Structure 1
Amino acid sequence: MEHRLEKIKKQLHSQSYKLTPQREATVRVLLENEEDHLSAEDVYLLVKEKAPEIGLATVYRTLELLFELKVVDKINFGDGVSRYDLRKEGAEHFHHHLVCIECGSVEEIEDDLLDDVERIVESDWGFKVKDHRLTFHGICRACQSKAEEKEKVSS
């Protein structure tokens, strides 16, 4: 984690920003909860445990700065809530997500599934792709299994 924190600090410095204690507390919360796709409010509540003096507006500003610097990605899974996701180290693109419409679980796909699509877009439309996002909405394995079990019991 310290290695990632140092890299983020360098990213901030390269854009003339400092890693203030409030920013560091926010980044640490994101690093510690990397799998969770936290909202700004979630981040705030967790940061508040480490730095009780921090305000919600400071957390929002920090998250927006990290988003602008491409340290985090902002995602909305269709529920109207922005969530923040640390960009994977060395990743050229945002990773993809599987969102279960039954239980709300979110899984990440690290493989870049759109390389061929990007090439077609660039060659056929002359559009230089800088990034992309792909979110699949469906029913996860666990929910499918529960539904199958219910079906067996009711038949």
Structure 2
Amino acid sequence: MLQLSLPDIKSQLQRAGFKLTPQREALVQVLIDNKTAHLSAEEIFMLLKQTHPDIGLATVYRTLEILTQLNAVKKVVFEDGIARYDLKRKDSGHSHHHLLCSRCGVIEEVFEDLLSQIEKNIEADYQFKILDHRLAFHGICKVCQSLERDSGLNG
């Protein structure tokens, strides 16, 4: 699936009565450039400071809040309690899923919607209209598994 582009987000902002200021544009570009990084507001701020030294952390938080409300950005909170931000994908009705490595902390994304039949069952059985779902799998990534195998063979 394709990620939302800068023109897509500019259109969303304009429809909601907001302008695409240089600071907002730079923030969106950071999200586009780091699409798999799951950046926190503070990490986005530090990246923005490199090219926009005048930007404030409050501006980053306000912009992320606006983009979240416009459904251009998805706020995800993992077990560490830190809010991280994902740029939404085009034609994406649901959030994507995550694979969280317990060893190194890497976060991988799964874009397949594996829960559509479960959602249908829940909606039918509980008369509950599902708008979205979040799913995170916890385990050990292939790199850490390989390192464990290698250290077991060599140790």
TM-score between both structures, scaled by the size of structure 1: 0.94
Structure 1 residues not aligned, in runs of 5+: none
Alignment partners' CA distance in 2, 1:62 and 1:21: 11
**Would you say 1:140 and 2:136 are equivalent positions?**
no
Q: Which residue of 1 aligns with 2:51?
A: 50
In the TM superposition, structure 1's runs of 4+ consecutive aligned residues that sit over 4 Å from their partners are none
SS where residue 118 of structure 1 aligns? Answer: helix
Shift of 1:126: 0.5
SS where residue 151 of structure 1 aligns? Answer: helix
1:42-71 Cα distance to aligned partner (Å, 9 max, x none): 100111122211100000110111111111
Q: Which residue of 2 aligns with 1:26?
A: 27
**Would you say 1:77 and 2:53 are equivalent positions?**
no
Shift of 1:15: 1.3
1:75-121 Cα distance to aligned partner (Å, 9 max, x none): 12211211101011221111100000000011100111110111011
User: Counterparts in 2 of 1:54-133, with a 5 A limit?
Assistant: 54-133=55-134
Shift of 1:153: 2.4
Identical aligned pairs, as a percentage?
51
The amino acid of 1:55's aligned partner reads G
Shift of 1:133: 0.7
SS where residue 5 of structure 2 aligns? Answer: helix
Aligned-residue RMSD, C-alpha: 1.4
Alignment partners' CA distance in 2, 1:12 and 1:131: 22
Alignment partners' CA distance in 1, 2:130 and 2:19: 30
Alignment partners' CA distance in 1, 2:107 and 2:21: 31
Moved more, 124-133 or 72-81: 72-81
Alignment partners' CA distance in 2, 1:68 and 1:137: 28
1:10-56 Cα distance to aligned partner (Å, 9 max, x none): 11111111111111111111111111111101100111122211100
